[in-house]
Amino acid sequence: MIQIYDTTLRDGTQRKDISLSVNDKMNIARRLDDLGIAFIEGGWPGSNPKDVEFFQRAAKTTWNHAKIAAFGSTCAANKQPEEDGNIRALLDAETPYCTVVGKTSVLHVTDVLRTTLDNNLRIIEQSIAYLVAQGRDVIYDAEHFFDGYKLDPDYSIETLKAAVRGGAETLVLCETNGGAMPWEVTEIVRQVRQKVSAPLGIHAHNDGECAVANSIAAIREGCVQVQGTINGYGERCGNANLCSIIPNLELKMGMKSLPDGQLQNLFDLSHYVSEVANLAPDEHLAYVGRAAFAHKGGIHVAAMRRTSQSYQHIEPEQVGNRMEVIVSELSGRGNLVSKAEEYGIILQNENQAADVLKTVKELESKGFSFEAAEASVVMLFKRMEKDYRSPFELIDFSAEVEHRQGRGMLAEATVKVMVDGEIVHTAAEGNGPVNALDLALRKALIEHYPAIESFHLSDYKVRILDGKSGTSATTRVLIETQNDIKTWNTVGAGTNIIDASWQALVDSFDYGLMVVHPITELTPVLEGI
């Protein structure tokens, strides 16, 4: 079984724009433990008070699968281990494992550490031996190993042997600068295995976009531990992405790395960590991105409808993901049929999907984009149904923006709609014309459809499609709406931003009333009065 060593809480937090609180780190650690990760590196206790607190809390926590590791360096070049504050901090963390990083490259020994090659071997061996004598299991991270091996292979091997003499359990070969190629990693790991008998691990960075490939190459050559982070977070270009490595091991190489049944939780873990880190999920990541199994091309979808293996290398459910069919101007009839099936829409005839496809292509040529606006696609189908009845019919609307004495900028909108044969005329003020229109439309409909009160406009995006046309350019508006049941997205487009916003707003209300809360469940409160 391959040992998964997660360093999201230490190496991952070195990514630009990531800062985790102690609660964040504890919550992520619990989710990693639930997944069945073998090792969780909690941080560097000698570096900051936050990591010290994490280890204090971790020591009082029961972990079902993971062993918690504290990270630190060898003792200072001019000290003995028992005199070194960093070594003391490792012991004070009270973790069963200590991961110690040491210099492997002669360049770093002489130019960075500024000591002799022999003294570097001493501090590696003595630092590890001292921790082992204090009852700790030690993992040795051989920093810059691959670059060091290229400079002086004999000395880099001597540093590993020093770690073995000290009692290190595993020797982790670190591809710290992230520039090695997979064939280099393959050959070097192969040579190391011939010279060192201790178990090996791999720790790769992604500066050459090869961190996952290098990790897989090292495992093929016999490494039994792989270090990385969730979503590949890390300094510079990141670390090896465990969300790719784990399914590659399990599904492609037949190597166990997680307890049975846990692989299907990988998608949720990936998105959970991104949310806690306050980063937008990268939906184009392999395996765990929402786009990983999203199909847009018409030829692709047509083949997928016959066999999912035609354009998918695994079943997405194996990692907790799902297949998605994208509707756009590149779609074929199969895309629309699949989308109708996904939403339970019964096609009236074989031409209905083709008619909707034609409409989609025409609208996208005018600036619409349905990839991120599935609710608008559903409404195209709904409006073609013979028994379709719109919840409301627009008669007219207006929106004004003005500056008023003592109140500053103000927007006001009026809406006149037909609801159940009744003309409703309302007005509302808002902080902008779209907000005012939204409020006025709600006011017109809410007495007839009370569930509208739960609809919230959660996002509003505007994109100018033709920058050369200035203020007369075509504008695309995407609106995201949500309630306590689901979230849906709609689109509008045109040279008038208010009209484009109105189109998206109407689709949003129609979808909410026709699909999220079917009108049969929303009997108007005025009925029977």
Identify the pLDDT of residue 420. 83
Predicted TM-score of the model (pTM): 0.70
**Residue 331 above 70 pLDDT?**
no
Stretch among 363-367, 427-431, 525-529 having the lowest mean pLDDT: 525-529
Phi and psi at 217, nearest 5°, equal -60, -40
Phi and psi at 230, nearest 5°, equal -70, 130
3-class DSSP state of 55: helix
Domain boundary pick from 339, 372, 405: 372
Is residue 452 situated within a structural domain? yes
Beta strand pairing call for 137-143 and 422-430:
unpaired
Same domain, 168 and 262: yes
Give the closest residue to 169 by CA, choosing from 118, 103, 225, 218: 225
Determine contact, residues 428/443, Cβ cutoff 8 Å: yes
Amino acid at 169: E
Specify the DSSP class assigned to residue 15: S
Identify the pLDDT of residue 520. 47
Same domain, 162 and 230: yes
434 against 467, higher pLDDT: 434
* Exposure on the CB side of residue 33, measured as CA atoms within 13 A: 18
CA angle 50-56-59, nearest 5°? 140
Give the closest residue to 515 by CA, choosing from 470, 455, 464, 473: 455
Give the closest residue to 157 by CA, choosing from 111, 193, 131: 193
Distance CA 513, CA 392 (A): 10
**Residue 525 above 50 pLDDT?**
no
**pLDDT digits over 498-511, tens only?**
888 888 888 888 88
**pLDDT digits over 94-131, tens only?**
999 999 999 999 998 998 889 999 999 999 999 999 99
Is residue 420 situated within a structural domain? yes
Same domain, 305 and 436: no
Identify the pLDDT of residue 529. 26
Distance CA 366, CA 359 (A): 11
Identify the pLDDT of residue 99. 98
Stretch among 320-324, 431-435, 443-447 having the lowest mean pLDDT: 320-324
CATH number, domain with residue 367 = 4.10.430.20
Average pLDDT, the chain: 86
Give the closest residue to 42 by CA, choosing from 17, 70, 3, 21: 70
3-class DSSP state of 500: helix
Is residue 384 situated within a structural domain? no
Same domain, 200 and 314: no
Same domain, 295 and 245: no
Specify the DSSP class assigned to residue 468: G
Same domain, 219 and 71: yes
Same domain, 186 and 315: no
**pLDDT digits over 201-213, tens only?**
999 999 999 999 9
Give the closest residue to 382 by CA, choosing from 372, 390, 394: 390
Identify the pLDDT of residue 335. 62
Is residue 257 situated within a structural domain? yes
State the average pLDDT over residues 139-161: 96
Same domain, 80 and 36: yes
**pLDDT digits over 174-196, tens only?**
999 999 999 999 999 999 999 99
Identify the pLDDT of residue 528. 32
Is residue 385 situated within a structural domain? no
CA angle 92-97-98, nearest 5°? 65
**pLDDT digits over 233-286, tens only?**
999 999 999 999 999 999 999 999 999 999 999 999 998 998 889 888 898 899
Give the total number of structural domains in the chain.
Answer: 3
Identify the pLDDT of residue 371. 65
Same domain, 264 and 189: yes
Give the closest residue to 203 by CA, choosing from 280, 140, 115: 140
Determine contact, residues 276/30, Cβ cutoff 8 Å: no
Indicate the pLDDT class of residue 527, thresholds 50, 70 and 90: very low
**Residue 338 above 70 pLDDT?**
no
Beta strand pairing call for 3-6 and 456-464:
unpaired
Domain boundary pick from 244, 276, 308: 276
Beta strand pairing call for 475-482 and 487-494:
antiparallel
Same domain, 99 and 247: yes
Identify the pLDDT of residue 497. 85
Same domain, 202 and 307: no
CATH number, domain with residue 478 = 3.30.160.270
Is residue 380 situated within a structural domain? no
Range of the domain at 313: 290-372
In the chain, how long is the greatest CA-to-CA distance?
95
Identify the pLDDT of residue 458. 84
Stretch among 268-272, 407-411, 487-491 having the lowest mean pLDDT: 407-411
3-state DSSP helix/strand/coil % of the chain, to nearest 5: 45, 20, 35
Identify the pLDDT of residue 523. 41
Dihedral, 488, 491, 496, 497 alpha carbons, nearest 10:
40
Is residue 529 situated within a structural domain? no
For residue 389, the tally of other CB atoms under 10 A from its CB is 9
For residue 266, the tally of other CB atoms under 10 A from its CB is 24
Query: What is the percentage of the chain residues whose pLDDT exceeds 70?
Result: 84
Same domain, 143 and 65: yes
Is residue 441 situated within a structural domain? yes
Determine contact, residues 35/64, Cβ cutoff 8 Å: no
Distance CA 175, CA 187 (A): 14
Identify the pLDDT of residue 316. 86
